[in-house]
Amino acid sequence: MSDSVPRCARSRTLRLTRLCALVARRSIHRLHLRLSLFGGWIWVAAASLIGFEALEILLGAFITAPELLPLALLALAAIWLLRRTLTRRRRRRATPHLSPPDVAGRLNRNDHASP
């Protein structure tokens, strides 16, 4: 037994190596899952913006230049997000006197509390 590394150190190193491999595998799996969900939401956003029939026409037009399809889908998804954000802001401006219920609840509780 001419090993320079003690047995307990080798087992700890092996455990740490396996742990690092598991953490890396889990991180890659989570990243893949998030990217897959993002890709699905891009399709949903594009279809909800222009409708499924128009999306079918759009996809048919990209037969000649399929490399531009991801850019078109991202643009449609960005337009959908922008439209949703603007709609929410418009609704918020239309009713400025309303406050969220949790803020109103905290204010009412503090006003009625005795010192």
Nearest to 9 by CA among 102, 77, 17: 17
- The predicted model gives 78-98 an average pLDDT of 83
pLDDT tens digit string along 22-77?
A: 999 999 999 999 988 887 887 777 777 777 788 778 778 888 888 888 888 888 88
8-34 per-residue burial string, b: 16 or more CB within 10 A, e: under 16: eeeeeeeeeeeeeeeeeeeeeeeeeee
Q: Report the predicted TM-score, pTM, of the whole model to 2 decimal places.
A: 0.41
